[in-house]
Amino acid sequence: MTLKEAMKSIKPASQALRQQAKQRWDQVAKPLGSLGVLEEDIIRIAAASGSLAVSLRPRAIVVMCGDNGVVKEGVTQTGQEVTAIVAGNMARGNSCVCLMARQAGADVIPVDVGMACRDAVPGVVNRKVAYGTKDFLEEPAMTREETVKAMEAGADMAVELKERGYVLAGSGEMGIGNTTTSSALLSVLLNMDPELVTGRGAGLTTAGYNRKVQVIREGIRIRKPSGEDPVDALSKVGGLDLAALTGFYIGCAACGLPVVLDGLITGAAALAAVRISPDVKGYLLASHVSAEPAGAMVLDALGLKPAISAGMCLGEGTGATALFPLLDMAAAVYTQMSSFDDIHVDAYEHLV
């Protein structure tokens, strides 16, 4: 699926189904709105999937994996070889997200869109666009063509999930250095100083953090990414994993597949997707608010409410996975709970 085809296929999530799902919640024999964000999430799933009868299984976490040339600037604790190691662990079912997903009844699908390793990693879906990005202090991270190709790889993964019968998606990422690229992207899209949207990632020292902010600020100054053109911003200071996630969200919207975000990095990609095609927003659910400084900022920009506030910042799709059991419980109430009419009790009324 080309990016243009995906964008043309997107229709707004059904407002009629939103209203019907809201009415169903209001009929459930419990205080109005008492499950909070979880009620809104079930409503969003109904509207996005096109069915009042909410179904949450089968489901899968798609993890986009890619390496970032900016790592050479000393913005991380570890080298980029760790990306392929963790992706391999995912393929074997041994990473954090896999262990959590096993408990949550979800599949994990790691996808190589730009890891620097030359050899294919067994069990990792190969959608490689390039062997990592360039150091954006030296040249743009990607060409625009590479960026679009990565986005199309993401959109194709969404279509593949739909064709395989999945009804709910989660999203994650793996790429050493991608808190740097996502913070750079958010600095551009939110028009905010890099220091305000940049955190310590996987545990930088103060000196390392200061270097990270300096690299992002200098990269934006040199590359001049456009806040009005997310594809330009992605290509100049983003990453292949970010671009693939952006395309994945566009693809999910195009084929009516509700998708759960993880933390900061997936949020940055989602913001790019919504800026490209605003109707994508109706297909997104927030799982948690990341402990990274811009975690709450990006959700505010997307207009999404997280169900979980647990100080998480692990990545890999772990936050999205953590939301699945909560959605299961909310869906059980939504579909199985008696109505006020069933138990012959006057319904609660909305008070103005």
Active site residues: 316
Distance CA 89, CA 47 (A): 35
CB 112 within 8 A of CB 125: yes
User: Tokens representing 135?
Assistant: 């150091």
Distance CA 345, CA 12 (A): 36
3 state SS for the chain: CCHHHHHHHCCCCCHHHHHHHHHHHHHECCCCCCCCHHHHHHHHHHHHHCCCCCCCCCEEEEEEEECCHHHHHCCCCCCCHHHHHHHHHHHCCCCHHHHHHHHHCCEEEEEEEECCCCCCCCCCEECCCCCCCCCCCCCCCCCHHHHHHHHHHHHHHHHHHHHCCCCEEEEEEECCCHHHHHHHHHHHHCCCCHHHHCCCCCCCCHHHHHHHHHHHHHHHHHHCCCCCCHHHHHHHHCCHHHHHHHHHHHHHHHCCCCEECCCHHHHHHHHHHHHHCHHHHHHEECCECCCCCCHHHHHHHHCCCCCECCCCCCCCCHHHHHHHHHHHHHHHHHHHCCECCCCCCCCCCCCC
- AA letter at 259: V
Candidates 227, 256, 328, 219; CA nearest to 13 is 256
